[in-house]
Structure 1
Amino acid sequence: MTERVASLDLLRGLAAFSVAVPHFLMAAQLAPVAAETISILGVEVFFVLSGYVLAPQIITFLIDRPTGRNLMIFWLRRWMRTIPPYLIALVAASVLSPQLLTSDFLRYAFYVQNVTGQANTLDYFPIAWSLSVEEWFYILFPLACFGLVPILPEGQARPWIIGATFVAAITLFRTLAPATDHWGNDIRRVVLFRMDAIGYGFLLHLALERVRLRPFLAWLALIVTTLLALVLTQRLANVGTDHTIETAFPFYIGSLGAAAIAAFLTLDLQGRAAAAALFLGRISYSVYLFHFIALGPVLGLALPWPVSIAAFVAITAVIAILVSIAIETPVLAARPRYATSPTHRTYRAAKEPT
């Protein structure tokens, strides 16, 4: 029932390393502003991609067939996919900090450190903010589906209405939030104000079901949105506070994620290229989770910077591969499956993501 798309796995892997490598450069004080800009864009592409690949599963089992059993299977599948590696990475980071079993650790463990604002005293596992956004989307968007499906007519418009309502609600919450000089912590990395980024990916899936992608236009759109995002986001990193750009950020960054997905979908990867892309996709989550573990040891060696970067990437990849083999693969194999039948199985269900 699982069909991985090699080109999207390539995008997923590139996004993971576009976060990991800039974090290393920032820690080593090598082009920190440019590195921070790229890492921000990498995280945001992840958000839109998550919504896109989850859309078929959500539409088929939570909108077209909204049963309590399907809801529980959706949650179990998501939690089994995301939580075990996360907790291992969190424990490792907490032991190194050391912060194991502190109140900050417990907030990380339950994804509540940034629900309405930054609650932790010491943000020693900084990548967790985006994972909290993801986890709360997994909870709240299906509940929105269950709340809206009974009052909406059947048809192709129903997913659009649900997705647009969810995105509009989050956008409204963010718009009503008071202005702040600490936009990164108070807005950009807060669950309540950022779940719409994943919702954009859901809406993108609906849109691309109706549109035939033209490679030239898709890649042109990606180039334009990337340049725009780089310029605007780097200005934020340089200046620190620009309320106009901050207000525009969710929209131009969502456009970047959508353009990246559309462009990569036009790639027809075959043979070794497809295998390499699928490999990158499979280790991408662990690369994102565990790259901070490799930072300290590599920086402590005081190697020339090209060697340091290569060593960092290699160590991160090795850790990710080991976690993928030892933890992710057996847990994914044990996840419950949705009940399907010839009369209910759909194209959307056949593209259920891992």
Structure 2
Amino acid sequence: MISLLKIDVGCNRIFGLDILRCLAILFVVFGHGNLFFSGLTARYLDYFVLDGVSIFFVLSGYLIGSILIKELENKPFSNEVLINFWKRRWYRTLPNYFLILSLLIILSHFFSKDFQISHSLKYYIFSQNLYYPHPNWFPEAWSLSIEEWFYLIVPIILLLIIRLFSLSTKKAILITAILIILFATFFRYVKSLQIILENSRDWDINFRKQVFTRIDSIMYGVLGAYIAYYQNNIWHKYKKTLFSLGLILLISNKFFIKADLNSLYACVFSFSLNSIGTLFLLPFLSEIKSGKGKIYKAVTYFSLISYSMYLINLTLVKNWIVLHLEIDFINSYVTLVIKYLLYWFFTIVLSILLYKYFEVPTTKLRDK
């Protein structure tokens, strides 16, 4: 059993970024696990959870932005470079996603009365939440569509700016990042003038979980990659101060949002500050190259399987496995605790298996 779950940890990893990725996925799974509990208990536990998906967005933008900048600085931006970039990104993200999506469609088709396959087909082209609320089915897919549209749109905008205006990669990256950040921020502002929110769910589906309202979160990470590459002295000089400020922003932002969900702050600028807070963590964390001991291994493991954990923890594990288990003790609290522990157990074990026997092999195909 141990050998079945053993993962090969590569040597080309940055432990500080693994820490951030590990915390992000734990926040997500812990947050989804709160759905097991009553309203009061869930609200209390929520105080310990930050927005893990927003952290993923900025981290993804930083890593992909760094790859793009290095590629474009080493060779001219051509159609071949663009297609190669898409292939590498899609080999990394799409096989896992399509596998889980197809599995959920099959389960829903045979065991859910109201499910219609036609409603799920939009998930294959990531059109389920462009500028409108994400459907209730497979709800965690909302962030994946934002990521995939980022992969598709940003390189095209970069290529057009470079070719049409004969600008350098440095200028094109900065202009693209600023334009998309301004667009999404303005889009949220206009949307906030048109909608009256009744509760936190309205805020969630109308502002937090749409492509047009959140794609700027990834661009803050790209902006970080830009500063790290072109202004490296600034990136490292204030790393400790920025790290402290980033933590303050992330924690305080969580509580300010809840004060008034209809406020300009909650609907427009809270997302910007969340992204900036995460961005401020990166200079310090990106310099932590390695670690040791059991904590290092655990963090690296969770970091490696984070994508698989994100895909399966809520709909597949919680809704299709744990909630369908016939577990009923005399004490309802014991039953709840058992189901909660099984939720974590199945999420971790199945994610390791999915990562090791499907995600890694399909990712390796891109190098062939």
**TM bracket (short chain):** 0.7 to 0.9
Which aligned pairs between 1:284-295 and structure 2 lie closer than 5 A?
284-292=306-314, 293-295=316-318
User: Could you say which residue in structure 2 is the equivalent of 1:14?
Assistant: 23
Higher relative contact order (CA 8 A, sep 6+): 1
Compare 308-317 and 246-255 and name the one that shifted more: 308-317
How many residues in Structure 1 have an aligned counterpart in Structure 2? 332
Rg larger for? 2
Q: After superposition, what is the alpha-carbon deviation per residue over 1:10-36, rounded to whole angstroms, capped at 9, x for unaligned?
A: 211221121112111124336333556
| Alpha-carbon shift at residue 203 of structure 1 (Å) | 0.1
Closer, same or farther: CA 225–169 of 1 in aligned 2, 3 Å: same
My pick for the range that moved more, 111-120 or 273-282, is 273-282
In structure 2, which of residues 230, 246, 251 is the aligned counterpart of residue 227 of structure 1? 251
* Percent identity of equivalent pairs: 24
1:263 and 1:54 map into 2 onto residues whose CA distance is: 19
CA contact (8 A) 2:322 2:342 kept: yes
Q: 1:46 aligns with which of 44, 47, 56?
A: 56
SS of residue in 2 equivalent to 1:195: helix
1:4 aligned to which of 6, 13, 36: 13
Structure 1: which amino acid aligns with 2:209?
R
Instruction: Determine which of 219, 225, 243 is the counterpart of 1:199.
Output: 219
Task: Compare the two structures and name the one with the higher helix fraction.
Answer: 2
Matches within 5 A, 1:120-131: 120=135, 123-131=136-144
Alpha carbons of structure 1 residues 249 and 311: separation in structure 2 relative to 1, 3 Å: same
TM-score by length of 2: 0.81
Deviates more, 1:96-105 or 1:22-31: 96-105
2:26 is the counterpart of 1:26: no
Structure 1 residues 247 and 279, CA, compared in 2 at 3 Å: closer, same or farther? same
2:94 alignment partner, SS class: helix
Residues 1:169 and 2:179 aligned together: no
Among candidates 62, 75, 89, match of residue 100 of structure 2: 89
Output the CA distance in 2 between the equivalents of 1:38 and 1:103: 39
Match of 1:251 in 2: 272
Describe the SS at the equivalent of 2:349.
helix
C-alpha deviation, 1:80, in angstroms = 1.2
Partners of 2:76 and 2:298 in 1: CA distance: 36
Structure 2: gaps spanning 5 or more residues: 1-9, 329-333
Amino acid at match of 1:193: T
**CA 1:240–1:308 in structure 2 vs 1: closer, same or farther (change >3 Å)?**
farther
1:127 alignment partner, SS class: helix
Q: SS where residue 32 of structure 1 aligns?
A: helix
Over 3 Å counting, the alpha-carbon distance change for 1:176 and 1:246 in structure 2 is: closer
Shift of 1:100: 6.9
The separation in 2 between residues aligned to 1:20 and 1:119, in whole angstroms, is 19
User: Would the alpha carbon gap of residues 51 and 66 (structure 1) be closer, same or farther in structure 2, given more than 3 Å must change?
Assistant: same
1:345 aligned residue? none
Deviations 1:300-344 (CA, angstroms, capped at 9, x unpaired): 53545554433322210111111111111111111148xxxxxxx
One-letter amino acid matched to 2:266:
I
63-72 or 212-221: bigger deviation: 212-221
Are the equivalent residues in 1 in contact too, given 2:161–2:167 (CA < 8 A)? no
Partner residue in 2 for 1:312 = 343
Q: Superposition RMSD on alpha carbons, in Å?
A: 2.7
Q: Aligned partners of 2:189, 2:42: CA distance in 1, in Å?
A: 30
Instruction: Tell me the TM-score normalised to structure 1 length.
Output: 0.84
Name the CA shift for 1:244/1:45 in 2 (closer, same or farther; >3 Å).
Answer: same
Q: Which residue of 2 aligns with 1:111?
A: 126
